[in-house]
Chain A
Amino acid sequence: MIAFKFLGAGAVAPYTGFRWPIRGEWVSAPVHRADVWIHACRLSDLPYWIDEELWRMELDAPLRETRYQIASACGRLQGRVEGWGPPLARKFAEACAWRARDVALPGLPPALRDAIAGAADLSAIVAGAAALGSVQGAYTAKNAQQGLPALTSYIAAVLASSTGGGLGAFEAERAWQARWLVAQLGLDAAPHAGAT
């Protein structure tokens, strides 16, 4: 089954430091040790695990599907998704920041709301928000400028949840982020796990 995996630079797993073989050799974990199985993303899971490199992965049965990831005892990398890199990551972060602004707008004090609603770009938002002391919008916009897609997308999803929609709203915002990524990267062209 085809899935996706985000890795750090050099195909290195970000938390364990495990160096994935990039020529497609199979990697396996003991079947009875589900806690060390290989984790990967279905399309809907992508926004939760953003990192420097995006790879296509083949996973062997048996698979275990959980809320935010899919796991298997056996997997191998099948190739880089070349479209994912710093320029698209930045574009993604900005898209999330604009969404965060839209969510935050109704809840802002009138003066700030007017200033931000009219802002044409992120710098104006940051300046406006910082001037009036609103941390939320400024934080998101500033991080987008530094190109931190994981953080910005997280904040946007949290903001969505804070207006009363809770976990459902959080996951809905993540689903929007996933659709954005899938569309931009053309990931729905081929058969894969978790087609939306």
Chain B
Amino acid sequence: MKLSVPDLSCRELVELVTEYLEGRLPFDERTRFELHLGYCDYCRTYLRQMRQVLETAGELTEESVAPEAKSSLLAAFRDWKGGSGGEPT
């Protein structure tokens, strides 16, 4: 069935998810995107999962520096402090 209505297929939508989330879809395309989500629960699930992935990525804790690396950086900092670096108080 050829569609001549404001819509897009699920296959097209999944390729536009990141642009949508970045707020970069042109207005007409964004309307089509949201009209599709209006009736398609599957695409709503897909969008929700993409959001869950990017939000969860933001919860990753800091990666710590290895102890040896940390001591050698600290040593370098002290050198610098005592040498040419550091502001006179």
Query: B-contacting residues of A (Cβ < 8 Å)?
Result: 14-15, 17, 35-36, 48-51, 66-69, 148, 150-151, 153-154, 157-158, 161-162, 166-167, 170
Contact = CB atoms under 8 A, between A and B. Distances in A.
A166 B5 CA distance: 7
Q: List 5 tightest A-B contacts by C-beta distance, closest first.
A: A150-B39, A154-B39, A166-B4, A170-B5, A151-B39
B37 interface: yes
A50 B5 contact: no
Contacts of A166: 4-5
B1 interface: yes
7 contacts: A15-B34, A15-B37, A15-B44, A148-B41, A157-B5, A170-B4, A170-B5
Interface in B54-81: none
A161 B4 contact: yes
Contact of A14 (B2, B23, B37): B37
A67 B35 CA distance: 12
A15 B4 contact: no
A5 to B, nearest CB: 13
A15 to B, nearest CB: 6
A83 B40 CA distance: 24
B35 A48 contact: yes
Contacts of B5: 157-158, 161, 166-167, 170
A66 B41 CA distance: 25
A158 B35 CA distance: 13
Given A35-B23, A49-B38, A50-B38, A158 B44 contact: no
Contacts, number: 51
B3 A158 contact: yes
Given A157-B5, A158-B1, A158-B5, A36 B44 contact: no
A48 B1 contact: no
B52 to A, nearest CB: 10
B23 A36 contact: yes
B47 interface: yes
A68 B6 contact: yes
B3 A14 contact: no
B4 A48 contact: no
B9 interface: no
Contacts of B1: 158, 162
Contact of B38 (A66, A67, A150, A167): A150
Contacts of B44: 14-15
Nearest to A174: B5
Contacts of B49: none
A49 B5 CA distance: 15
B86 to A, nearest CB: 43
